[in-house]
Structure 1
Amino acid sequence: MENDEQTEVAAEVKGTASNPIVKLPAGLLKKVREPWKKCLIVRLLGRNIGYNLFVNRIRKLWNLQAGFETLDIGNGFFIVKFEMMEDYSKVFTGGPWIVMDRYVTVCKWQPDFKSDEAEADTTAIWVRFPNLPIEYYDEKVLYHISKVLGNPLKVDIKTAMVARGKYARVCVEMDLRKPLISHLTIG
């Protein structure tokens, strides 16, 4: 191995003899995390079901263009790796997804995610804004309004085209641990 390669993968070790702390080089971290950036972390809320049953149900439910791989990472969490980015987007923003009468949460892969320590239950949710004045059916305005709820991801196509007037619809990534906001006032 060349000197550059040895330097790149050399880890810094701190801590104590009984509890060493290993700090990996930034370049190595970037390299090992790259393949996972286009993955989703999926969790079936409530009682767990078997791996094969879950995978078969989501395969039928999602009806994707290409294949995907599913990795059980414990505690009801799965990492799903997609062959096509279009399928990734469909699953992330296309919900809500329900398997066997239980809600499936979907969030983007996060570095250093540990299923036994997972606290942040985030998922993409379609939010309706009923009786919104038509002049607010503007993508920038809707993103601004939606930031109160979470991270806005996309505006519904019928809303963007002002093809529906009863309500505006925006997909928002929300933290399920926070209280839901049922009403907001603009102005």
Structure 2
Amino acid sequence: MSGENNAPIYTSDSRGDDATGDGTEEKPFKTILQAMRKAGSEPFPVIYVDSKEEGKKYEVVAKAQLKKQQKIWVRECYKLADGQKREDEDTEKRLKNLEEAKLIVIEEDKSLSEAKKIKIHDGHKFRNQRVKIYGWAHRIRRQGKHLMFITLRDGTGFLQSVLNDKLCQTYNAVLLQTESSIILYGTLKELPEGKTVSIVCL
């Protein structure tokens, strides 16, 4: 609703409710600020508050009281506008990143040794060898634009994998979500005792 609607808005500190009220005489809002939110823009329609006169329900809000609440309302509007602006900028930036990601094409380096297809629980047999593992992205953590950690799950175990540079910037990598089905190619590296074996993708 906008300020063009001239229907009066009722508020009542004692009987009103900002959550369930609709600004009518029977179902008033609790606060003047909520009445302003309903109006949406200036000039505001007439806003009524609890009457100080005995036997009278409502009276027009005093100008000083209205002005005080109006300042709060204006600050709130600026805050909302800034939030929307940041959201729009973030959306534009994300769309730009997606378009750039579509231009990045990764191909397997044929000069490297052939990757052996294995299950995660057999990883200890293939340390320092190139492997390929089919599985699901159990967890994903991105660290900036050039580093990405994926915990891979294949039904036999879990494997910590690391992607860097352009591998993190492809269209599929940018859109990757948990539970996505993926194939990882890379070299298995042994970590200190007590740590999870990791696969460094190439």
Greater strand share, structure number: 1
TM norm structure 2: 0.20
TM norm structure 1: 0.22
